[in-house]
Amino acid sequence: MQIFLMYLKVFAVGGAICTVAQLLINYTKITAARILVLFLLSGVVLQAVGLYQYIVDFAGAGATVPISGFGYLLSKGAIEGAKESLFKALTGGITAAGMGITAAIVFGYLVSLIFKSRSKKN
């Protein structure tokens, strides 16, 4: 039962984040790229004021997998790095997110070797 409740929390929070994004796409003229930037910056700001950590503690992957979770991770690394030095404050975000960035590059490259890209037919 404990696992079911955790899955429910993850799905509810992750689904809520994605629902907000879909509503922005459907009912505003904001482009998808601007929505991505908005969500990334919202993760940074919420972590900077100390709120996003509570969401992550509650929902786990439901809060860390969306793009706002990437912003949270970048700002968390920068905040931790700032405790040591200015240089680590500037590089802490990339250090914290390095594993995910590397995985995205490697798997993107592997997929590009397997599949051939082509234009959509109108």
Predicted pLDDT at 100: 87
Q: Let me know if residue 121 belongs to a domain.
A: no
Instruction: Tell me whether residue 100 is in a domain.
Output: yes
DSSP state string for the chain: -HHHHHHHHHHHHHHHHHHHHHHHHHHS---HHHHHHHHHHHHHHHHHTT-HHHHHHHHTHHHHSSHHHHHHHHHHHHHHHHTT-HHHHHHHHHHHHHHHHHHHHHHHHHHHHHS---PPP-
Residue 11, pLDDT > 90, answer yes
Residue-level pLDDT at 122: 61
Full-model pTM: 0.79
Could you list the residue range(s) of the whole structural domain that residue 96 is in? 2-114
| Alpha-carbon Rg for the chain in angstroms | 17
Q: Give the total number of structural domains in the chain.
A: 1
Helices 32-48, 2-27: crossing angle, 10 deg rounding: 130
**Residues 6+ away with beta carbon under 8 Å from 69:** 43, 56, 63
Give the mean model confidence (pLDDT) for residues 31-46: 94
Q: Are 44 and 71 in contact (CB under 8 A)?
A: yes
41 within some domain: yes
Q: What is the pLDDT of residues 39-97, one digit of tens each?
A: 999 999 999 999 999 999 999 999 998 899 999 999 999 999 999 998 888 899 888 88
The answer as to whether 46 is a domain residue is yes
Residue 10 has pLDDT above 80, yes or no: yes
**Is residue 122 domain-resident?**
no
Would you call 30 helix, strand, or coil by DSSP? coil
Query: 120: pLDDT confidence band, cut at 50, 70 and 90?
Result: confident
Answer whether residue 84 is part of any domain. yes
Per the domain annotation, does 120 fall within a domain? no
Examine residue 29 and state whether it is found in any structural domain, yes or no: yes
